[in-house]
DNA sequence: ACGCGATGAAGATCACCAAACTCACCACCT
DNA sequence: AGGTGGTGAGTTTGGTGATCTTCATCGCGT
C-alpha cells in the first residue's frame, strides 16, 4: 500500500531531506488510482487520511487532488469527499495521465484505440507534412530515422528514435491538434512495443518504410507520404498483435 | 487589469462571502494569460503579488498555478518564478484550456486546425460508429438531430444540439481517443459558428445532412456514414469561411 | 413525519520554516 | 591592479500545521 518512496524518509536523525514532494505524491495517488487500488466510482480516503497515507501535509494533498481533478481523474465535491471518476472521463490525451497509467495502459483498451486513431490520423498528418514540413523538420526526421537504423540491435534506443520520428512527423504536419496527440503515440509505442520486444526483422521493415516516408516528404509527394504512413501502420498493427499475443502468453 | 469579479469583494463590513474562489481565480489567471496580459515566455508576478492582484491567499494562488502548470500553460521553477509557456506547449485538447481561451481562440489558428482535424477524424469516426453504435446512442443522435431541426430559428439551441450531435457521434465511434476530441469540437463550434450567426438556409442544409447520417448509422451503412460526414464537413468549411469573413469585416 | 441542531469534512487563510537559486561582495591569485 | 572564484545574505518558492468558515448529512427531539 505504501507506494511513495521518499528518499529522505528516514525518521531518524540525519539530514531530513524533503525535496520536490508534490510531484511524487501526485504521481503516487494517480498510479494508485490507475492500479485500481481506489476503484473507479468510489470515494478516496479523506484528505486528512491521505496526509498520513502518503506522509505529507494537507496542502500538498490538496494541490495534488486539484491537479488530478483538473485532469478528470477524480471529482471533488464540497463537503462530501473526493471520488474517482469513471475512466471515460479521464483526460487520456494528457501526457501526465498516460505516464501515470504506465503499465496499466493495456488494462483499458487504450492501445487498440490509439492504433485505430493513428490509422486515421497519421496518413493525413503525413500528407500535410509533405506540403508543409520545413527543411529543419525534414532534417530532424532524417536524424531520427538514422538513429532508428543504427540502433537496430538496441531496443531502447530504437523505441526512443521511433517515438521521436512520429513526434516530429506530427509536428511537421503543422496542425496543433495532431501535434498534441504525440503524447498518446509516445505512450502507446513505449508500452506496447517495448513490452513485447519485437524481433530484429520487424525493425528492419520499419526502418525501410520510415526511410521511404522521409524521402517522400523530401519530394513533397503527398500520395507517397500517405502511402508510406499506411504501410508503417500495417507494421504497427502486426507488432501490436504480436505484443498482445505475447502478453496473453505470459499472463 | 482587475479581471476577477468577486461577488462579495466589498471591503466594507457586511457579509464577506468567500465562496468557491479557487476555480474563479484559476480561470481568471488563465484568461489573463490567454489575453496576452502575461505574454508568452515572460514571467508571471511573484506569488505574493498575485495574492494581492486577485485578492486571495497564497494557498489559493499556489493551487491555481499548479493546475495551470499541469495543463502546460505555465512552468514554475523553484526560486526563480513562474513563466508562461509557449503556446505550442499548451494542452489545447483540454476542455478547461479551451474554455479559458474562449473568445481568444481565433487569435491562434486553432479553428482551422480543429476543422482540419475534424476532416480527417469525423469521417472515420462515423464509419466506426456505423458498425459499433448502440441503439441507445443512435437514439441520442436522433434526439440531438430533432433538436437541431426544431430549433432552426434559435441559434443558441441549434449550436447546443449541434455540439451534442457531434459529441454523441464521437462517443458512438467507441474509440476513446476520438471521444476525447469532442471538447475541441465543442469549443470550435461554440466560438466559430456562434460568433458568426450563420444563416437559416445553412442550418437547413446542415439539418438535412445530419439526418442522413443518422439514417446511415441506423442502416449500418459505413460508406454512407463516411460520405455524410464528409458532406457535413464541407458545410462546416463553408461556415468557417463565412465566419472568418464576418470577423474580418467587423475587425 | 418534519425540522433543527450537532457533527464532520472540505474550502480558505495565516504564519512559519526549509531549501535553493541569485547576486553581490570580497578575498586571493596572477 | 584587475580578473576570477568562493562565500554569504537575501529572496522566492516548496512544504507544514493550526485555525476559521461553510455547509451536507445524520440523528435526535418535538
3 state DSSP class of A81: strand
Closest-CA distance of chain A to residue B74, Å: 14
Position of cell 464541407? B234
Query: Is residue B12 pLDDT above 70, yes or no?
Result: no
Sign, CA torsion A73/A77/A78/A80: negative
Arithmetic mean of pLDDT, A167-194: 91
The tens digit of pLDDT for each residue in B138-157 reads 999 999 999 999 987 888 88
- Most confident segment among A71-75, A155-159, A182-186, B226-230: B226-230
Query: Is residue B14 pLDDT above 70, yes or no?
Result: no
Distance CA A174, CA B196 (A): 26
Closest-approach residue (CA) in chain A for B89: A180
Between residues A28 and B173, which one has the greater pLDDT?
Answer: B173
Position of cell 458498425? B131
Q: Point out the least confidently predicted range of A110-114, B9-13, B30-34.
A: B9-13
CA atom of B14 to C1′ atom of C13, Å: 19
Distance CA A155, CA A150 (A): 11
Compare CB distances from A91 to B20, B124, B180 and report the shortest one's residue.
Answer: B180
Arithmetic mean of pLDDT, B63-80: 89
User: Predicted confidence band at A63 (pLDDT cuts at 50, 70, 90)?
Assistant: confident
Residues from chain B contacting residue A127 (CB–CB below 8 Å):
none
Give one DSSP letter per residue of A73-124, joined into a string.
SEEEETTTEEEEPPGGGS-TTSHHHHHHHGGGGGGTTHHHHHHHHHHHHHHH
> By the 8 A CB rule, do B242 and B198 touch?
yes
Distance CA B232, CA B84 (A): 38
Q: Is A57 on the interface with B (CB under 8 A)?
A: no
Distance CA A113, CA A251 (A): 21
3 state DSSP class of A76: strand
- A150-185 burial, b for 16+ CB within 10 Å, e for fewer? ebeeeeeebbbbbbbbbbbbbbbbbbbbbbbbbbbb
Whether residues A96 and B70 touch (CB distance < 8 A) is answered with: yes
pLDDT for position A10:
32
Distance CA A74, CA A60 (A): 16
User: Predicted confidence band at B106 (pLDDT cuts at 50, 70, 90)?
Assistant: confident
B59 touches strand C (CB under 7 A): yes
pLDDT for position A154:
85
pLDDT for position A19:
52
Distance CA B46, CA B50 (A): 6
Query: Is residue A240 pLDDT above 90, yes or no?
Result: no
Closest CA to B229 of B117, B139, B113, B127: B127
Lookup: cell for B198 = 450563420
Distance CA A157, CA A63 (A): 36
Lookup: cell for B204 = 437547413
Position of cell 474554455? B99
Closest CA to B129 of B172, B185, B75: B172
Could you give the C-alpha distances from A131 to A38, A134, A231, A246, B107, in angstroms and in order? 48, 9, 20, 39, 24
The proportion of chain B whose per-residue pLDDT surpasses 70, expressed as a percent, equals: 86
> By the 8 A CB rule, do A102 and A231 touch?
no
User: Predicted confidence band at A16 (pLDDT cuts at 50, 70, 90)?
Assistant: very low
pLDDT for position A148:
92
Distance CA A110, CA B167 (A): 19
Arithmetic mean of pLDDT, B39-45: 89
Q: Cα A142 vs. chain centroid, distance in angstroms?
A: 23
Whether residues B62 and A63 touch (CB distance < 8 A) is answered with: yes
Q: Cα A163 vs. chain centroid, distance in angstroms?
A: 10
Arithmetic mean of pLDDT, A52-72: 89
The proportion of chain B whose per-residue pLDDT surpasses 90, expressed as a percent, equals: 52
Q: Cα B1 vs. chain centroid, distance in angstroms?
A: 25
pLDDT for position A248:
64
A20: left (phi over 0), alpha (psi -120 to 50) or beta: left
Between residues B247 and B35, which one has the greater pLDDT?
Answer: B35
Write out which nucleotides of chain C lie closer than 7 A to a protein Cβ. 8-15, 18-22
The tens digit of pLDDT for each residue in B120-143 reads 999 999 999 999 999 999 999 999
Compare CB distances from A177 to B63, B88, B184 and report the shortest one's residue.
Answer: B184
Distance CA A68, CA A90 (A): 9
Query: Is residue A9 pLDDT above 70, yes or no?
Result: no
pLDDT for position A213:
97
Closest CA to B16 of B24, B6, B26, B25: B6
Write out which nucleotides of chain D lie closer than 7 A to a protein Cβ. 10-18, 21-25
**Mean residue pLDDT across chain A:** 85
pLDDT for position B193:
67
User: Predicted confidence band at B171 (pLDDT cuts at 50, 70, 90)?
Assistant: very high
Between residues B246 and A220, which one has the greater pLDDT?
Answer: A220
Arithmetic mean of pLDDT, B91-108: 90
**Residues pairing with B135 in the sheet:** none
3 state DSSP class of B222: helix
Between residues B54 and B9, which one has the greater pLDDT?
Answer: B54
pLDDT for position A211:
96
Give one DSSP letter per residue of B68-105, joined into a string.
HHHTTSEEEETTTEEEEPPGGGS-TTSHHHHHHHGGGG
Closest CA to A66 of A13, A104, A22, A16: A22
CA atom of B77 to C1′ atom of D9, Å: 21
Query: Is residue B5 pLDDT above 90, yes or no?
Result: no
Between residues A108 and A89, which one has the greater pLDDT?
Answer: A89
> By the 8 A CB rule, do A81 and A64 touch?
no
> By the 8 A CB rule, do B72 and B98 touch?
no
User: Predicted confidence band at A199 (pLDDT cuts at 50, 70, 90)?
Assistant: low
pLDDT for position B103:
82
The proportion of chain A whose per-residue pLDDT surpasses 70, expressed as a percent, equals: 87
> By the 8 A CB rule, do B93 and A95 touch?
no
Amino acid at each position: 500500500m505504501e507506494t511513495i518512496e521518499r528518499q529522505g524518509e528516514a525518521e531518524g536523525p540525519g539530514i531530513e531531506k524533503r525535496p520536490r514532494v508534490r510531484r511524487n505524491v501526485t504521481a503516487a495517488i494517480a498510479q494508485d488510482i490507475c492500479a485500481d487500488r481506489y476503484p473507479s466510482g468510489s470515494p478516496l480516503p479523506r484528505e486528512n487520511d491521505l496526509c498520513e497515507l502518503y506522509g505529507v501535509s494537507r496542502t500538498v494533498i490538496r494541490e495534488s487532488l486539484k491537479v488530478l481533478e483538473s485532469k478528470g481523474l477524480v471529482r471533488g465535491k464540497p463537503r462530501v469527499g473526493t471520488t474517482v471518476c469513471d475512466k471515460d472521463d479521464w483526460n487520456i490525451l494528457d501526457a501526465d495521465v498516460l505516464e501515470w497509467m504506465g503499465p496499466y495502459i493495456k488494462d483499458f483498451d487504450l492501445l487498440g484505440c490509439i492504433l485505430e486513431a493513428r490509422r486515421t490520423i497519421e496518413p493525413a498528418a503525413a500528407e500535410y507534412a509533405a506540403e508543409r514540413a520545413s527543411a529543419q523538420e525534414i532534417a530532424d526526421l532524417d536524424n531520427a530515422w538514422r538513429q532508428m537504423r543504427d540502433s537496430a540491435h538496441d531496443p531502447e534506443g530504437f523505441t526512443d528514435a521511433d517515438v521521436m520520428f512520429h513526434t516530429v512527423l506530427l509536428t511537421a504536419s503543422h496542425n496543433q491538434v495532431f501535434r498534441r496527440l504525440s503524447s498518446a503515440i509516445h505512450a502507446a509505442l513505449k508500452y506496447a512495443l517495448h513490452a513485447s520486444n519485437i524481433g530484429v526483422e520487424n525493425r528492419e521493415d520499419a526502418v525501410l518504410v520510415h526511410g521511404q516516408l522521409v524521402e517522400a516528404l523530401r519530394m513533397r509527394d503527398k500520395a507517397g507520404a500517405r502511402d508510406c504512413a499506411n504501410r508503417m501502420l500495417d507494421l504497427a498493427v502486426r507488432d501490436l498483435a504480436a505484443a498482445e499475443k505475447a502478453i496473453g502468453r505470459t499472463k
